[in-house]
Amino acid sequence: MADGRERFGIKIHRGIDSIGAAAWDACAGTDNPFLSYAFLEALEASGSAIAETGWLPQHIALEDETGRVLGVAPLYLKSHSYGEYVFDHGWAAALERAGGRYYPKLICATPFTPVTGRRLLVRSGFAGGSSDALLAAMVELARRHKVSSLHVTFPTGDEWKKFGEAGFLQRLGQQFHWENDGYATFEDFLAALNARKRKQIRRERRDAMANGIEIDMLTGDAIRPAHWDAFFRFYMSTSDRKWGSAYLTREFFTLIGRRMADRILLVMAKKGDRYVAGALNLIGEDTLYGRNWGCLGDFPFLHFEACYYRAIDFAIELRLVRVEAGAQGQLKIQRGYLPCATYSAHWIRDPNFAGAIEGFLRRERQALEQDMQALEEELSPFKRTTADE
């Protein structure tokens, strides 16, 4: 494959281990822990993202004439649409009602992770032709597999535009992120809020710690197997209540704890000598990513404290730029997490089906843009005028 100057070779890998940590991380960089070899390989090695769970790896590696890996893309052949956080179940049902077959499909993503990040992972200094070659290889693989569709979830805004220029349909999503406006303390953050919300948050923090609740903020070597045992119980309990099945195995948590503990913040709440709740976060170069939460019992406001307020505390202490608290939840707005756009791009094989989806996405984008603006205007807790005091 060529971009007019260089010749590239493409290889498809049924496991990230056949690419190797050094080559993968040279392309993925260090800013986003969910794109690291350690995280993605842990998903495969633990049995969380494998063919048997509906995630058959089809990772693309772009090589130069010497065999050096210049770029990679995390790609999976899917037999369902679970664990993606960009919902296309309605598309699948519509195509199958019309006599078509939606699955299998291809997806370029980090499994089970609604975190924005690069999807065309290119070694520094090779961005132009290499990213184009990766994109073309993804489409060619989709054609060869004769899948109904190829989906790229949570790419960056720049990549989203690139995929759109290549003919992919563009979809908007919404999350809620906290931005660090140079705060030195949590009280500085509270000072930026209107008086009513400031009082509400102080009350919630106080009530969350009532009845003898204590919280441990754990990272690095402080995270022990017993902490993972407790957290996995919380994770399984929450998964059973919300989704009916868990995506991640116990071995996954062992592996990330062993390989990337310095990039993990585990917020563990206990009452007496027993842990009762926990929140898992991953630490990027400038962002704290909130991922999983679980709790055994009814503890008012503890979710807000462990997932939102402790994350802000930690981000301020480390001078991180933002906290991404995961998918869904308008209740986050009143606690300082404002609406933020996320993106996905979709290649649809059948042109008639693509036309129907394009019309839907156009209307959806318009509605979502209006909704995001209205939410921030109506629900933002931040001061607007001195009258807010």
Name the residue among 228, 229, 201, 205 with its Cα closest to residue 215: 205
pLDDT the model gives residue 281: 98
Q: Are strands 213-218 and 149-153 parallel, antiparallel or unpaired?
A: unpaired
Note whether 281 and 288 are within 8 A (CB).
yes
- Digit-by-digit pLDDT tens for the chain (389 residues) are 434 446 789 999 999 999 999 999 999 999 999 999 999 999 999 999 999 999 999 999 999 999 999 999 999 999 999 999 999 999 999 999 999 999 999 999 999 999 999 999 999 887 668 999 999 999 999 999 999 999 999 999 999 999 999 999 999 999 999 999 999 999 999 999 999 999 999 999 999 999 899 999 999 999 999 999 999 999 998 764 555 578 999 999 999 999 999 999 999 999 999 999 999 999 999 999 999 999 999 999 999 999 999 999 999 999 999 999 876 778 899 999 999 999 999 999 999 999 999 999 999 999 999 999 998 889 999 998 654 55
Beta sheet of 9-13, edge-to-edge order = 9-13, 59-63, 69-73, 121-122
Predicted pLDDT at 239: 64
User: How much is the pLDDT for 241?
Assistant: 52
- Tell me which fold the domain 181-320 belongs to: Aminopeptidase (3.40.630)
pLDDT score recorded for residue 54: 96
* Residue keyed to tokens 């699948």: 92
Dist CA 73 CA 278 (whole Å): 32
- Say whether domain 9-173+340-375 belongs to CATH 3.40.630.30: yes
pLDDT of residue 245: 72
The pLDDT value given to residue 100: 96
**Cis ω for the linkage preceding 104 (within 30 of 0):** yes
Provide the pLDDT for residue 246: 85
User: What CA–CA distances, in Å, run from 373 to 146, 221, 344, 361?
Assistant: 40, 43, 20, 18
Tally of CB atoms within 10 A around 263: 21
Do the domains at 9-173+340-375 and 181-320 have one common CATH topology? yes
Both tokens of residue 269?
Answer: 């709440």
Residue ranges of domains in the chain: 9-173+340-375, 181-320
